[in-house]
Structure 1
């Protein structure tokens, strides 16, 4: 699928499948814009993708909310001793530091884990991004709780010039689409091989379900040109 078709799908509130590339994780994620996420989206990710359903934020928005990477939080914590800090991950096998921050629930959720609750938490984050109030951190702190059932990912400050993960790619796509730079992503897994779903199987799924499949390498090339 072309970049234009991929962006059009996101703007409609539909899924896209995004492959990060053979030289990185070599995984395909289901992606939907948090502006439009519904319980149906979450249920389908859970059932058809099967990976970890995460919320990706652009760097500036995350910093505005006072969010930090989990490896930095743990490294700077006085409650984590030096021996335990050896557990904190440096670079992952695919070459980058993880983009994980804290996990959250919106205050209006009950357990936080249901499809309805997770969709609410994620859509409320997109709504917060669009809130004209300059003090978004105060709203965030009063409206969300941690720990929760939605893992927050922070895109690198330079997006694709700094890191080539699904976090950055999905946020960049949302930005190109003129949407809030807040996305919901989930790795597609294979219950037959117990590994990541191959690109070929993902393409077959995309074709059967009329979902755009986009190769992240093309997005990297576009970003370099623009």
Structure 2
């Protein structure tokens, strides 16, 4: 990427194309975003750019982990249409991932902690089949929804949660149990799940720590990797593998 500058290649050197007139604010913004991706692999850059424009991306965690592709977008762009697409095209749980620091500020626990404190230690999973501690926290609704399950209700809950930064605001505006599943990231150094991968992509894109995701399902099981790649190509969505995010620096 060239930060919004048109570049010509003459076979020997790359030189900026001269252009008259001042650079607009929009061009400066595009250039700033583009330059932020210069040190990242092309797949990571494409995913970051798509997220910044409110687009969808697909993230495949890896063959040695869940072996699943999740379709994702940034929470500030949540809309009924986007939630409908997750519901119809993906079919898994619709979740909202936030960072550990924000979760601590809001007083959000992991669901496993809630279960242990309730005396349900015997049914509380310590490690999943793929080796990680679960990222699940509470399930919430915004107080301005009715049942919380329609696409418009979940979109509202997600958009409002994306803006929520304090415990006071969280307790004032939300209630549990609800219909948006919260996930808390632990950081890629501790866990390499879809939760952490999505939050790292949001960080790279210069966005806040709030990512919406849904597992893509096939017939009776997770959607095959090739089918997920075909879906991404057909719809023009970036497809990225977990290892490309861990090894994001060129």
Do both share a fold (TM > 0.5)?
yes
Task: Name the CA distance, whole Å, in 1 between partners of 2:215 and 2:115.
Answer: 25
Q: How does 1:54-203 map to 2 (within 5 A)?
A: 54-77=95-118, 80=119, 84-129=120-165, 136-156=166-186, 159-191=187-219, 194-203=220-229
Give the counterpart of 1:50 among 91, 97, 104. 91
Does the 8 Å contact 2:43/2:244 carry over to 1?
Answer: no
Which residue of 51, 75, 86 maps to 1:10? 51
Give the whole-Å Cα distance in 1 for the aligned partners of 2:134 and 2:239.
Answer: 24
Largest Rg, 1 or 2? 2
* Aligned-residue offset at 1:96: 0.3
Q: Which runs of 5+ in 1 are unaligned?
A: 130-135
Shift of 1:85: 2.2
SS in 2 for 1:51: strand
Please, which of 18, 25, 36 is the counterpart of residue 66 of structure 2? 25
CA displacement, residues 118-147 of structure 1 (integer Å, 9 cap, x when unaligned): 010011111224xxxxxx101100100000
**Is this contact kept in 2: 1:35–1:179, CA < 8 A?**
no
The runs of 4+ residues in structure 1 deviating greater than 6 Å are: none
Distance 2:228 2:245 in 1: 18
3-state SS of paired residue (2:244)? helix
Measured against aligned partners, the alpha-carbon deviations of 1:74-125 in whole angstroms (never above 9, x if no partner) come to 1123xx3xxx421111100000011001100000001000000001001111
Cα deviation 1:142-164 (Å, max 9, x = unaligned) = 100000000100001xx111100
* d(CA) in 1 for partners of 2:212, 2:239: 16
Mapped partners of 1:143, 1:41: distance in 2: 23
Counterpart CA distance in 2 for 1:128 and 1:69 is: 18
DSSP 3-state at the match of 1:31: strand
Secondary structure at 1:2's aligned position in 2? helix
CA distance in 2, matches of 1:40, 1:64: 31
Residue in structure 2 matched with residue 132 of structure 1 by the alignment: none
* C-alpha distance after superposition, 1:5-32 (max 9, x if no partner): 1100000001000000111001000010
TM-score by length of 2: 0.82
TM-score, normalised to structure 1's length?
0.90
**Higher RCO structure (Cα 8 Å, ≥6 apart):** 1
